[in-house]
């Protein structure tokens, strides 16, 4: 599909039930959700490659990556498929995007699932520091190439627990990262990074739909962030998965899939 001269790639699975939009994290693609097709078979699953990732376009214009504009585009795609509302599940960067949609277009979102995600950064100085850091990383991606960046990205402490995954699974994740477009990743950092996006901390009280927050106990940073979010959201619950890191859907797919399905079954009528 194409909107505003930017083509997005999406896969649709299911039997026509309630729409469940799936948004991957930075360096990921819609393929990360394939293991859940059968677990969430009662819903119409709409898995999207976010701009700059996978098979979606990677435009040179960084304004195309504005998180609010990307959210509007995703809504337009889902509506073209015949849905006036949807539940949205987002992981990390995809969770920030999902929360942005819930804040900017509240009538569209029926429930929200945020995995290891945040509302952005609280104050101007924090955002400016992050914008500067993301600009350096974006420039590095373009200068040294994808493989050098992926080698560095995989060594981040929040992914340390993934070293326990089977070698085949780790190789699959690495291939997904290596297939990315360097322009797309660089401009994702510049256009919809944690520093460049609006902060939604002061708007969490506006999100009146049911929200499920999921974090891994080994990912202490996001456990604390999501616990604070849980205190501010009107209708939320925070589930911490023990002995698990940042990417719960990768490290504990059966537990993750079951928790999500139970939440959706409870809150969708």
- Residue-wise DSSP of 105-159: -GGGEEEEEEES--S--SSHHHHHHHHHHHHHHHHHHHHH-HHHHHHHHTTSGGG
In a domain, 157, yes or no: no
**Percent of the chain scoring above 70 in pLDDT:** 98
24-76 per-position pLDDT tens digit: 999 999 999 999 999 998 899 999 999 999 999 999 999 999 999 999 999 99
2-12 per-position pLDDT tens digit: 556 799 999 99
CB within 8 Å of 189: residues ≥ 6 apart = 26, 134, 135, 137, 138, 141
Average pLDDT score over residue span 175-184 = 96
- How far apart, in whole angstroms, are the C-alpha atoms of residue 252 and residue 239? 13
The pLDDT, as a whole number, for residue 17 is 86
Using the predicted structure, report yes or no on whether residue 269 has a pLDDT greater than 80.
no
First to last CA, the chain: 30
In a domain, 158, yes or no: no
Using the predicted structure, report yes or no on whether residue 1 has a pLDDT greater than 60.
no
Question: From the CB of residue 217, how many other CB atoms can be counted at a distance below 10 Å?
Answer: 14
pLDDT tier at 79, thresholds 50, 70, 90: very high
Residue count of the chain, please give it.
269
Alpha helices (runs of H) in 51-92, residue ranges in sequence order = 67-80
Torsional class of 243: left (φ above 0), alpha (ψ -120 to 50), beta (otherwise): left
- Work out the mean pLDDT of the chain and round it to a whole number: 95
In a domain, 191, yes or no: no
Torsional class of 241: left (φ above 0), alpha (ψ -120 to 50), beta (otherwise): beta
Domain range for 213 is 2-120+198-267
Q: Are 214 and 256 in contact (CB under 8 A)?
A: yes
Number of structural domains, the chain? 1
Look up the CATH number of the domain holding residue 207. Answer: 3.40.50.1820
Question: From the CB of residue 38, how many other CB atoms can be counted at a distance below 10 Å?
Answer: 9
Question: From the CB of residue 182, how many other CB atoms can be counted at a distance below 10 Å?
Answer: 18
pLDDT tier at 16, thresholds 50, 70, 90: confident
- Greatest alpha-carbon span in the chain: 50
144-163 per-position pLDDT tens digit: 999 999 999 999 888 999 99
In a domain, 156, yes or no: no
226-258 per-position pLDDT tens digit: 999 999 999 999 999 999 999 999 999 999 999
Half-sphere exposure for 109 (CA within 13 Å, toward CB): 27
In a domain, 80, yes or no: yes
In a domain, 131, yes or no: no
Using the predicted structure, report yes or no on whether residue 137 has a pLDDT greater than 60.
yes
- How far apart, in whole angstroms, are the C-alpha atoms of residue 118 and residue 70? 17
The pLDDT, as a whole number, for residue 15 is 73
Q: Are 69 and 192 in contact (CB under 8 A)?
A: no
In a domain, 132, yes or no: no
Using the predicted structure, report yes or no on whether residue 98 has a pLDDT greater than 60.
yes
- How far apart, in whole angstroms, are the C-alpha atoms of residue 200 and residue 171? 35
- Residue-wise DSSP of 3-34: ETTEE--EEEESSS-SEEEEE--TT--GGGGG
Average pLDDT score over residue span 168-187 = 95
Q: Are 171 and 46 in contact (CB under 8 A)?
A: no
Average pLDDT score over residue span 173-181 = 95
In a domain, 87, yes or no: yes
């Amino acid at each position: 599909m194409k909107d505003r001269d930017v083509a997005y790639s999406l896969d649709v699975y299911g039997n026509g039930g309630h729409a469940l939009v799936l948004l991957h994290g930075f360096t990921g693609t819609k393929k990360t959700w394939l293991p859940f097709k059968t677990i969430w078979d009662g819903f119409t699953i709409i898995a999207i490659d976010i701009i700059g990732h996978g098979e979606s376009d990677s435009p040179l214009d960084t304004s195309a990556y504005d998180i609010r504009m990307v959210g509007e585009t995703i809504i337009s795609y889902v509506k073209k498929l015949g849905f006036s509302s949807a539940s949205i599940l987002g992981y990390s960067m995809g969770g920030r995007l999902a929360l942005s949609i819930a804040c900017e277009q509240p009538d569209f979102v029926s429930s929200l699932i945020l995995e290891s995600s945040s509302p952005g950064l609280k104050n101007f100085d924090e955002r400016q520091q992050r914008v500067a850091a993301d600009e350096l990383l974006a420039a590095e991606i373009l200068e040294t190439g994808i493989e050098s960046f992926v080698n560095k990205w995989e060594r981040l402490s929040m992914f340390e627990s993934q070293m326990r995954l089977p070698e085949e699974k780790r190789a699959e994740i690495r291939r997904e990262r290596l297939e990315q477009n360097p322009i797309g990743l660089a401009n994702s950092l510049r256009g919809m990074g944690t520093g460049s996006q609006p902060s939604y901390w002061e708007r969490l009280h506006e999100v009146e739909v049911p929200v499920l927050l999921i974090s891994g106990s080994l990912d202490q940073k996001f456990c604390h962030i999501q616990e604070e979010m849980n205190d501010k959201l009107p209708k939320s619950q925070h589930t911490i998965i023990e002995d698990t890191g940042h990417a719960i859907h990768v490290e504990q797919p059966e537990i993750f899939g079951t928790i999500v399905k139970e939440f959706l079954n409870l809150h969708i009528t």
